[in-house]
Homo-oligomer: A and B are copies of this chain.
Amino acid sequence: MNPSGVITLTTDFGGGGGVLRGVIWGIAPHAQVADLTHAIEPQNIRMAAWYLTRQVFFFPEGSVHVAVVDPGVGTPRRPLAVQAGPQYFVGPDNGLFTPFYEMAEERGWPLKVVHTDNPDYWLSKVSDVFHGRDIFAPVAAHLARGVPIEDLGTPVTAAVRVPFPRPQRNGDELHGEVILLYRHLGNIITNIDRPHLNGIDPAGVTVQFGGTAINGLARTFGERQPGELIALFGSNDELMISVVNGSAIEMLKPEIGDPVLVRF
């Protein structure tokens, strides 16, 4: 797969990432670099993984996605480069890329996982606490310039995986949970996706959260009244709970992991 010359950055830094661009442009001067987000909750691997799945496939084939959510930095956890189907990934071996391993296996995509232990592709000095800058960024820049992924180090057969909770069907109930609070817009994101409700009439379902029940799914915000609590599919087909022109997070005070029940 030819590199697209595009590199993205996903971190829990809360801002910045500027220094990563410096490292990248020192190696790949013409790389296009995009921030996906720097607002991952500190060390929340699941949130980062979820965020990546929603964004990376909108990038050109052969883009490189760097993820720095790295509680184990400086321990023997491995730095990885991954090719999963049309996209490359670079980051720590802590489960961040689990959904992409699973997609590749389910869809028969090419899957290559490499322990990037070849220091020729690192910065010359590597710190104990910032592999994002010292290993991941330079490795990503070399990938974006066309270095074959195999050259970056040793093949990995058993990468770390983290379980991603999937909703459970039980008769006419679907038991899911809250997996992301999108605070700025006030939306509560669940792990229930549109395909989980295939063939079911959206007008006939009830979404239950805490003591609150929402009858029927909305198609858009604009078809309901300001202030109304609604459930609808978001821009990536995820079921979310929202308030039109308001905040469902303020109204319902959810926590990550809270149960969400869909009855049909």
Query: Which chain A residues have a beta carbon within 8 Å of chain B's beta carbons?
Result: 4-6, 8, 12-16, 18-19, 21-23, 25-26, 29, 32-39, 42-43, 54-56, 58-60, 63, 71-75, 77, 127-130, 133, 183-186, 219-223, 232-237, 245
Contacts and interface: CB of A to CB of B under 8 A. Distances in A.
Contacts of A8: 18, 22
- Count of identical protomers in the assembly: 3
30 contacts: A5-B29, A6-B22, A12-B185, A13-B184, A16-B35, A16-B37, A16-B39, A18-B35, A18-B36, A19-B36, A19-B54, A21-B34, A22-B34, A22-B58, A22-B59, A25-B32, A25-B59, A26-B58, A26-B59, A29-B60, A42-B186, A42-B245, A73-B222, A74-B221, A75-B220, A75-B223, A128-B219, A128-B220, A129-B234, A129-B235
Q: Nearest 5 pairs between A and B by C-beta?
A: A74-B220, A14-B184, A130-B235, A75-B222, A22-B59
Most buried by B among A39, A72, A220: A220
B245 A22 contact: no
Q: Chain A's interface: helix, strand, loop or mixed, by majority?
A: loop
A60 B25 contact: yes
A42 B130 CA distance: 27
Contacts of A39: 15-16
Nearest to A13: B184
A14 B186 CA distance: 11
Nearest to A54: B19
A19 B184 contact: no
Contacts of A34: 18, 21-22, 25, 33
Contact of A245 (B23, B60, B71, B127): B71
Nearest to A5: B29
Contacts of A14: 183-185
B74 A26 contact: no
B35 A6 contact: no
A246 to B, nearest CB: 9
B222 A43 contact: no
Contacts of A26: 58-60
A54 B130 CA distance: 13
Contacts of A63: 22
Contacts of A129: 220-221, 232-235
